[in-house]
Structure 1
Amino acid sequence: MTRGSESRLDAAKFKVIAAMEQRLPACAKDQWAEPGEGRDWSAYVPRSGT
């Protein structure tokens, strides 16, 4: 499989996952409310160095 086809496959998978998340009672986008919806970028920076 080429890199381009892998990218297209990954994009298709995420599109399907996003559509499924819209049907869940507690939508996955709600998980961003607790950590401030990504406004504080330092909360998402790896701290272990790996």
Structure 2
Amino acid sequence: MQAHLAAAAALRDEAAHARTRAAEESRAAARALRSRGLTVREVGAALGISHQRA
């Protein structure tokens, strides 16, 4: 049982790290798209998010 608990904790840590990296990459992509002249609406569409979040 301890091994399962430890594995679950490690996987939660990995998931948190992956979420952080994904957010960083999304922000970098948004900046790059904006620097190429795309509108905020276009950036949102490209990232699959609303324009308010872009």
Q: Could you state the TM-score of these two structures normalised by the residue count of structure 1?
A: 0.50
Greater helix share, structure number? 2
Higher relative contact order (CA 8 A, sep 6+): 2
Larger radius of gyration: 2
